[in-house]
Amino acid sequence: MNKKSLWKKITGSRVFKVLTGKKSTVVCLAILLLLVVTAALAPVLAPCDPYEQKLVSQLQGMSPEHWLGTDSMGRDVLSRIIYGSRVSLVVGIASTLIAGGFGMLVGLIAGMGGRIVDTVLMRIMDAMMSVPMIILALFLGTIFGKGLGNICVAIGICMIPSYARVTRGQVLSVKEMDYVTAGVLCGASKIKNTLVHIFPNCVSANLVLMTMNLGSAILSEAALSFLGMGINPPTASWGGMVNDGYKYLSRDPIIAIAPGICIMIVVLCFNMVGDSLRDALDPKLRGTLARRGKRTKRAGAARAAG
């Protein structure tokens, strides 16, 4: 398959049409792409060294030299926000992959392992879900300690139950399908049947959950950093910047407000993209996009004729 036909196949897919069919989703995708580019090119885009302390320049307001001012240590706020995007992106992707990988494995074992295995694993997941996520993350952060890797593991463990429950529900539904029964009758082992027929049908639901949990992971890291259990200083992170800047809200509010706005925008974009991806992959919604397009064309033709 050449590049032209591959591109035509991608642009003609339902997922592409749904994601590009809403202007709000396109804007969110553009913002997330900008986040990735900013994180990748942080050393080039940052106007100053984010870790260089200049006590003579502390708490300066916005100026041509420091577009968003400086913090209590004299560090450039804009540069720290740019470098903080790296931490947010790494935490979101790493913790989501950890949670998705282990969660889907637990869900597959629970769905295919029989009643006893299912009961034991799901009660453990229920116990984890009964504890608020931020409390569990604080507990795990206390055990593992501060640091980027430890925070990713702590947040990933907290999100495992949601993937396990979604995967288990999908497995219990899919394994009753006729093609799975046909595989058993043809002599396929349980492991082969699970990996070939059942697991691929569980990926789409978890993919949507991963997209929406990216924002939750970034928000959790910001909360942990705000509470002093996140990234080790002086590493720039948006939550840590909010924690450092809230003390100066009356004097220089931009120090805390600017990274807080970044957190809000990125989390909102991830949630909106995840919602659109769910619409694209949900089989119950197939055909609604085409019908909506036809109704829009008919309405436009009627207005033109009128």
Quick one: pLDDT band at residue 247, thresholds 50, 70, 90?
A: confident
At 203-232, the pLDDT tens digits run 878 888 888 788 888 888 888 887 777 777
Query: With 70 as the cut, is the pLDDT of residue 41 above it?
Result: yes
Confirm if 226 and 243 have CB atoms less than 8 A apart: yes
Q: Minimum mean pLDDT among 35-44, 59-68, 156-165: which range?
A: 59-68
| CA-to-CA separations, 192 to 182, 184, 187, 188, 199, in angstroms, rounded | 13, 10, 10, 6, 10
- Tell me the backbone φ, ψ of residue 66, rounded to 5 degrees: -125, 100
Residues pairing with 232 in the sheet: none
62 touches 77 (CB < 8 A): no
What is the set of domains in the chain, with CATH numbers?
21-46+76-282 (1.10.3720.10)
Distance of CA 95 to CAs 48, 80, 151, 154, 254, Å?
Answer: 30, 22, 8, 8, 29
Q: What is the pLDDT averaged over residues 95-121?
A: 89
**Residue 36 pLDDT more than 50?**
yes
Q: What is the mean pLDDT of the chain?
A: 80
Return the minimum-mean-pLDDT range out of 7-11, 223-227, 276-280. Answer: 7-11
User: Is residue 226 within 8 Å of 242, Cβ to Cβ?
Assistant: yes
pLDDT of residue 298: 54
